[in-house]
Amino acid sequence: MSLLEIAELETFYGASQALFGVELDVAEGEVVALMGRNGMGKTTTIRSILALSPARSGTIRFAGRETQAMRPHLIARLGIGLVPEGRRCFPNLTVAENLSAAARPGRWSLAEINGLFPRLAERRDQMARTLSGGEQQMLAIGRALMTNPRLLILDEATEGLAPVIRHDIWTVIRTLKAEGQSILIVDKTLAELLPSADRCFVLEKGTTVWTGRPVDLTPELQDRYLGV
């Protein structure tokens, strides 16, 4: 059974429609890539999953429950850990506070996160606003993991980072995948994304236009849907 199932999702920003029937599903233990050019609705889809931008129609089922009428914090508690676009930590809290505020019992504890990201352990008493971009991204991932999510959502987790940090983060993503963590991931670096993903969904103008395994995403299709 799918962990997350989205059907005919339509979402509006005020009067303007952003999603025109998105179809998406993520199975337990699967890494799914959500792809598409800028402005095609990837982030809006993610915001709709957590009801940050509530869906106007369609269904979203997570862990067997319809969630589109639920409030964001209750959906998050069902087991969704979001790493939002643009590394949104709490700048006025320390690293340790950022992590502990999110904590829910499970596999991931403060010690585990410190093991995963030794940099965060070094900076535990520093305010999040003083961290580098890469460190803030690690913190955002760590914070999402601290909620011990059944589904981890990464929205442009490696955007704008130095190559060496990018590499570290991809290593962590692969580690999580190897552990059987379900992940929904949006990213632009196909060279890293495609080998890690089990399946891909491509959005165009707010609808799902292509679904399949990464190997089937031929250079022609990449050019058609993702090329600039």
**Residues near other proteins, by CB under 8 A:** 50, 52, 71-74, 76-77, 81-82, 84, 88, 90-94, 96-98, 100-104, 124-127, 143-144, 146-147
Q: How far is the CB of 195 from other proteins (least distance, A)?
A: 28
CB 200 within 8 A of CB 185: no
Cα separation, 27 vs 168, in Å, equals 26
Which CB atom, from 52 or from 63, has the smaller least distance to other proteins?
A: 52
Residues 6+ apart with CB under 8 A from 68: 48, 51, 54, 55, 58, 59, 60
Q: How far is the CB of 184 from other proteins (least distance, A)?
A: 14
Which CB atom, from 147 or from 158, has the smaller least distance to other proteins?
A: 147
Query: 46: part of which helix (H) or strand (E)?
Result: helix 42-49
Which CB atom, from 37 or from 88, has the smaller least distance to other proteins?
A: 88
Cα separation, 173 vs 141, in Å, equals 10
Q: How far is the CB of 98 from other proteins (least distance, A)?
A: 8
Largest CA distance in the chain: 49
Which CB atom, from 33 or from 145, has the smaller least distance to other proteins?
A: 145
Q: How far is the CB of 102 from other proteins (least distance, A)?
A: 4
Which CB atom, from 127 or from 190, has the smaller least distance to other proteins?
A: 127
Q: How far is the CB of 180 from other proteins (least distance, A)?
A: 21
Select from 134, 108, 107 the least CA-distant residue to 120. Answer: 134
Half-sphere exposure of 223 (CA within 13 A, CB side): 3
